Amino acid sequence: MALMITEDCVACGVCLPECPVEAISEGDIYEINPDTCVECKGHFDEPKCAEVCPTDACVPA
Ligand code: SF4
Ligand code: SF4
């Protein structure tokens, strides 16, 4: 299970340093690696990227 980033991403970069497993990478639209995203399980109660994203671009894949 993983989250993904939709076309609503405005590449603000806020999510990148928040990911505890470094699953997010930079780009015109940021990307989540589905092989490393753990939905923040064991780190936070809720997916951190979704919590901090200003455009609600981080959604369940
Ligand atoms: S849900 Fe958590 S582990 Fe997955 S990409 Fe977002 S911050 Fe990283
Ligand atoms: S916080 Fe949201 S808008 Fe900003 S880079 Fe991450 S996914 Fe894109």
Backbone φ and ψ for 51, nearest 5 degrees, come out as -65, -40
> Percent helix, strand and coil across the chain, each rounded to 5?
15, 15, 70
pLDDT at position 22 is 98
Atom number in ligand 1 closest to CA 44: 2
CA of 20 to the centre of ligand 1 (A): 7
Ligand of minimum distance to the alpha carbon of 57? 2
Atom number in ligand 1 closest to CA 39: 1
- In this structure, which amino acid lies at residue 13? G
CA 38 to mean position of chain CA atoms = 10
Q: What is the CATH number of domain 1-61?
A: 3.30.70.20
Taking the domains of the chain in order of start, what are their residue ranges?
1-61
Cα(15)–Cα(30) distance, integer angstroms: 9
Q: What are the tens digits of pLDDT across the range 9-57?
A: 999 999 999 999 999 999 999 999 999 999 999 999 999 999 999 999 9
Atom number in ligand 1 closest to CA 48: 7
At 1, the pLDDT band (50, 70, 90 cuts) reads confident
